[in-house]
A and B are shown apart, each in its own frame.
Chain A
């Protein structure tokens, strides 16, 4: 049997320092912050905000991402291991960050930041989610370089044989699909925000972001490996069920921000 597949045997390590490998995943993570900073700077300059506030924001988001993603990995995936030797939670160089941990860490950091500089939470999150979409692209590309979190078997010509993990049959490169979806979301949100920002209502961009991002995840989940055994035989898996409330929240938020005045008038 001859597969028309892509054979992926990419070395995830760029170089090694004192026995610790520097990986493309780390480079992608760094690029997401660099590009994120450049874009946020444009937004801050337009809003006539000081760059020192952006530096503070970067620090909040960086710390929120790192703590959230690391705790997410340690506590969601290997709680027994890390709770029995909690000091290893600090060993970030050994790998192990979880994006859903970051998705809790970032909003918490943004909430604290918004309180600190006295701006509405939805105002800052509207701007940050645009660069989060771009960061999602870089992080998923990092997963692709690491040959991790791929999908089920396929005979489509773009199926990938991840040889580094011992695969011999092509699998859906779901990290790549996700990366492209996030890049597309960024390509939609960024110009849309630039177009409407002077008359933008707080929460509008965040609402669209929630709908687009979790819809993409909802569809990609169909070709992902089941995360847990009890998903077998379920029409939708856990990731899809968890996406639905976020999509509905996005729709609800958009409805609320677009009809805020009417809702308030009716209440009065």
Chain B
């Protein structure tokens, strides 16, 4: 019995050491300036939608696009339901493109975010130094004019045709998404703007 207890303690200690070692190896992916999704931050928009970042960083990994059964390294990332945030990329409901890059700080950069029947869905930075005035001031900060705003469009591309954008987004430094224009059926445009936000401490 005594031997059994001793062995049990040894196994438990070994397990604790293993867990302890692996914990320190896990990298943190911190938010970037134009998408400051620090835990507990939130953004409320004019259409009533709220985006919240859950408290703390969450361990996450995903199936890698290139390797058939390989998964990405496990990292700690913010969780902005339903997306895990990897810098300017977020997870999405598409295993061919597990991460969707929302924006880039390079003007003119274009990238693919998914497939669409016989075409593909792309994003492109069309401007990176815009001064944007929202239709009304932000409720808790009184800000209305934002400088150095990055403008990104999302559009569908087929072999010989590039269609007009479906989505246009405006990202402000240290704030995040401040305006979104959505082109719906019959080319009607829906706009939503930031009305209140809170960016948590960077820790």
Contact = CB atoms under 8 A, between A and B. Distances in A.
B68 A230 contact: yes
A80 interface: yes
Contacts of B70: 229
Interface residues of A, number: 36
Contacts of B64: 229
A5 B185 contact: yes
B58 A169 contact: no
Interface residues of B, number: 44
Given A150-B93, A225-B94, A225-B95, A230 B58 contact: no
Contacts of A11: 48-49
Given A84-B19, A148-B82, A153-B116, A226 B59 contact: no
Dominant secondary structure at the A interface? loop
Given A1-B164, A165-B82, A230-B68, A84 B95 contact: no
Interface string B80-121: 011100000010111110001000000000000011110001
A230 B69 contact: yes
A169 B116 contact: yes
B185 A4 contact: yes
Contacts of B83: 165-166
B193 interface: no
Contacts of A51: none
A168 B60 CA distance: 25
Interface in A207-264: 225-230, 232
Contacts of B117: 153-155
B196 interface: no
A81 B59 contact: yes
Interface in B54-74: 54, 58-61, 63-65, 67-70, 74
A227 B63 CA distance: 10
Nearest to B121: A169
Given A153-B117, A169-B166, A2 B156 contact: no
A7 B184 contact: yes
Contact of B59 (A1, A84, A161): A84
Nearest to A148: B82
A21 to B, nearest CB: 9
A5 B81 CA distance: 25
Interface in A1-30: 1-5, 7, 9, 11
A89 to B, nearest CB: 14
Nearest to A94: B54
Nearest to A13: B50
Contact of A168 (B90, B94, B166, B186): B166
A211 B64 CA distance: 35
B28 interface: no
Q: Which of B63, B83, B114, B186 has the most CB of A within 10 A?
A: B63
Interface of A: 1-5, 7, 9, 11, 78, 80-81, 84, 94-95, 148-150, 153-155, 161, 163-169, 171, 225-230, 232
